[in-house]
């Protein structure tokens, strides 16, 4: 029996991407509230990605809980004269064990190319961090039937320097650009289709065991209202949540929705 035939249990994961929002005090308050409402959830990985300025304080607030800290970005060099940038070692020092790489806002608004994404992925892995590689097509690309080409291309390029030994420290977040912050959610069919394609591509890049184990998240207008429908999608292992993660009650509902569907 090949590993592909065995049902693999992947631990569900909910990641809150706070983007450029919340002060230090506000970040701490959301963490505290989240611990009150969802601190007892043990079977879902809950990850928060605050701004750099709030990382340390948020990390301190969630210490001792099961919640984990992620950074939204990192630089590809180890250290040096890169004014305004933050290194993998520094985010790790601030308490992060994960980092988002290649978010569409980084690609679109800050000119991050696949080449830059590749270097960041490699640096983060070398640093010992887990990487959440964000990929996804624009509306134009979807309408032009380019989704498979774009998604596979972003994976191939982004993971080109990720050695096989790191395949268990990579997560893929499928975030269609047209669904981010728009209130327009991808359909279950669209998500299933792309997630299957991502898993297949992961197998080509690594191997079938890694492909069975890799967690694939969906992101783009995930809310406390639509989480039940989204979490019911079999090949969806988690969610990457922007706007709705800024509110502890809403994010708590999302975490519980995921827990319920994946139990
Ligand atoms: P959204 O953002 O949930 O606000 O659409 C998702 C993301 O950008 O990760």
Domains of the chain: 13-262 (3.20.20.70)
C-alpha 179 chain-centroid distance: 15
User: 242 in ligand 1 pocket by Cβ < 6 Å?
Assistant: yes
Q: Residues near 219 by Cβ (< 8 Å), separated by ≥ 6? A: 17, 134, 136, 173, 174, 175, 179, 180, 239, 240, 241, 242
Residue 1 binned pLDDT confidence (cut-offs 50, 70, 90): very low
User: 245 in ligand 1 pocket by Cβ < 6 Å?
Assistant: no
Q: What is the pTM of this model?
A: 0.96
Report which ligand 1 atom has the smallest distance to the Cα of 100.
9
Q: How far apart are CA 25 and CA 47, in angstroms?
A: 18
Dihedral sign for Cα atoms in the order 222, 143, 106, 23: negative
Average pLDDT, stretch 86-103?
A: 98
- Summarised one tens digit per residue, pLDDT across range 115-126 is 999 999 999 999
Q: What are the residue numbers of the active site?
A: 103, 175
> How would you label 194-219 residue by residue, b for 16+ Cβ within 10 Å and e otherwise?
bbebbbebbbebbeeebbbbbbbbbb
Residue 8 binned pLDDT confidence (cut-offs 50, 70, 90): confident
Residue nearest to atom 6 of ligand 1 (CA): 242
Dihedrals phi, psi of 53, to nearest 5 degrees: -65, -25
């Amino acid at each position: 029996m090949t590993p592909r035939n065995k049902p693999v249990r992947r631990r569900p994961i909910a990641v809150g991407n706070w983007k450029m929002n919340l002060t230090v005090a506000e970040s701490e308050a959301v963490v505290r509230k989240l611990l009150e409402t969802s601190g007892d959830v043990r079977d879902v990985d809950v990850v928060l990605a605050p701004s750099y300025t709030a990382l340390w304080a948020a990390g301190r607030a969630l210490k001792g809980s099961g919640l984990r800290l992620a950074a939204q970005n990192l630089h590809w060099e180890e250290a040096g004269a890169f004014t305004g940038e933050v290194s993998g070692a520094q985010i790790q020092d601030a308490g992060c064990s994960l980092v988002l790489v290649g978010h569409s806002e980084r690609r679109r608004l800050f000119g991050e190319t696949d080449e830059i994404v590749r270097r960041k992925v490699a640096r983060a892995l070398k640093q010992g961090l887990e990487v959440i590689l964000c990929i996804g097509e624009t509306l134009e690309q979807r309408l032009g039937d380019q989704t498979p080409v774009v998604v596979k291309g972003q994976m191939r390029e982004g993971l080109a320097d990720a050695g096989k030994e790191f395949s268990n420290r990579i997560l893929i977040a499928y975030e269609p650009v047209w669904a981010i912050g728009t209130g327009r959610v991808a359909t279950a069919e669209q998500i299933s289709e792309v997630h299957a394609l991502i898993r297949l591509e992961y197998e080509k890049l690594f191997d079938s065991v890694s492909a069975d184990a890799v967690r694939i998240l969906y992101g783009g207008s995930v809310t406390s209202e639509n989480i039940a429908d989204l979490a019911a999608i079999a090949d969806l292992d988690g969610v990457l949540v922007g706007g709705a993660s800024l509110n502890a009650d809403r994010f708590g509902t999302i975490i519980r929705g995921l827990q319920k569907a994946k139990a």
